[in-house]
Structure formats: C-alpha cells, structure tokens
Amino acid sequence: MRREAFFLPSTVGQRLVLLYSPEPAEKLRGAVVYVHPFGEELNKSRRMAALQARAMASAGYMVLQIDLLGCGDSSGDFGDATWEAWLADVKLASAWLQERTTAALWLWGLRSGCLLVNEAAHRMQGPVNLLFWQPVVSGKQFLQQFLRLKVASEMLASDGKGVMERLRGQLRQGEAIEIAGYLLAPALAQGLEQADLLLPHRSGRVEWIEISGRADASLSLAATARLTQWQAAGQEARGTAVSGPAFWQTTEISECPALLEASLRALSEEVPA
C-alpha cells in the first residue's frame, strides 16, 4: 500500500487530497472517493477514515480522500464554502480517479458527507456505487441541530428568547453566523437545508452501515424505512449495523474495528442480503 499527499487545482484555489494505492502488482478492485463530514466531525473522524483507506488499499482499492473547500488544508476558509462548491469538489475528485482507472467507482461518505455523495451521484454519468457511514438523512434537521449549538451558547448569556428565529433571519438576509468556531455562510446553510437522502437513481449499489453502542446492534428505524423504500423502487441497497463508539463525536479520538471489517465486506459483496 502506498500513500501520497498532493493538491488538485480547482476553479477556486486547490484541494488537498490523500491517495492510497494498492501495490502495482495487485489487481485493482475498485476506485473510492471519501467525502468527510461537517465541521468538528471532520477532525474527530480523521483517524477512522485513514484506517479504512489503508485497509481498502491493502484489499486492492484505490482511495482518494479530499479536503473540501475551506476544510483541512484546502484553499479558503470555512466561511467561503457553499454546498455547490462542495459538490464540485466531489466531482473533481471523482473525475481525477476516473481519468486514471476504469475500475468501478465508489463514493464513500460519512454523516453529512453522505448527502453530498448521494447528490453528486445524481449528477454523474454512469453507475456509481455508494458507501454510507452513519448517514444524515435530512440536511434540514442536521442544520437545526448545528444552529442549536449557537442557541445554547447565547442562552447562557441571555434569556435566549427567539434566538433560533433570529439566527435563521440572519441567514435569510445573507449574513454569515459564527457557530462553535465555524463561520456558516448563507449559501452553505441553504444548500444543506435543502439536501435530503433521496433515492440514488443513477447509482449501482448502496451499502448503508450504522454504528450502535449496543452489543446487539441493529439498524435504526429511519434506515430500515429508507432502505425498504429504495429496494421497493428497484434499487440494490443493503443495510448493516455494527457495534462501536460514535467516533465522529466522542471526546477522545476513538476507533471502531467492526466498521472497518464491515465496509470491506460490503465493497466485496460479501454482506448477506
């Protein structure tokens, strides 16, 4: 397995990418683009993303991880990010891989990254396989939860009345909001709010994996409902639940070995139907 770090030129600045490649003698089994989650969840999940990318490369997959606009070591600040710019970044990474291999393409997202890869798959030509890690199914609900961080901090300093409506009013008026150290631009908030995990019409397979803190891990009701709907529509989609910590939000950086194993099985179609 080889690992390289370099920048991809974009229409706005450049994007840092990490490329994990199998040894040259190995047969390439697939090409994978990883799309990270939102805000602080990105930092919490870097360890798990790196472990999975290495495992995939060792199993014969080429994996490209990209820092989206305003995130990590890519160009711009978080306040410069828009939903459309992030979708363009996913397309940029995917095109770069597809220019170098004809292997089956996988888009792998974590949390809100699943909303991005799903929407990107709608816009791409040809089949795209999707690997979802603990997907956010509603961008509107996710944005609401993020805004509550600001509400909570302001309630400590005042009576907190009408804080949420005031924040939404600022966004509607084109004003950016600072939340937990991140400057949220109206264009990013609007795109996130409109995003939903809809039926991925043009994809190949969908592998949905959730993490549970319980030993007898099972899929959430939301996952079961969404997968059942997609399967009824003819989409090849499967769900898996594994036990482990919610590493994207734990205080300490944590790992979930069961998730790494389940993901490799999912890509190789060894997960029971």
State which residues form the domain around 169: 139-195
Residues 133 and 207 in one domain: yes
The pLDDT of residue 126 = 83
Residues 155 and 234 in one domain: no
Last residue of a domain, which of 176, 195, 214? 195
Query: What gap in Å lies between CA 30 and CA 56, rounded to an integer?
Result: 9
Residues 56 and 21 in one domain: yes
82 is a domain residue: yes
Residues 114 and 133 in one domain: yes
The pLDDT of residue 196 = 96
Extract the residue ranges of the chain whose pLDDT is less than 50: 270-273
156 is a domain residue: yes
Residues 184 and 251 in one domain: no
pLDDT in tens, 188-205: 999 999 999 998 876 789
Residues 191 and 220 in one domain: no
The pLDDT of residue 270 = 45
Report helix, strand and coil shares of the chain as percent, to nearest 5: 40, 25, 35
The pLDDT of residue 156 = 55
Task: Transcribe 215-253 into DSSP letters.
Answer: SS----HHHHHHHHHHHHTT-EEEEEEEE---TTT-SS-
Residues 42 and 120 in one domain: yes
249 is a domain residue: yes
Residues 191 and 202 in one domain: no
Number of domains in the chain: 2
- In this structure, the strands spanning 182-184 and 177-179 are antiparallel
Q: What angle do CA 136, 191, 123 make, to 5 degrees?
A: 85
Residues 74 and 93 in one domain: yes
Residues 122 and 188 in one domain: no
CATH code assigned at 110: 3.40.50.1820
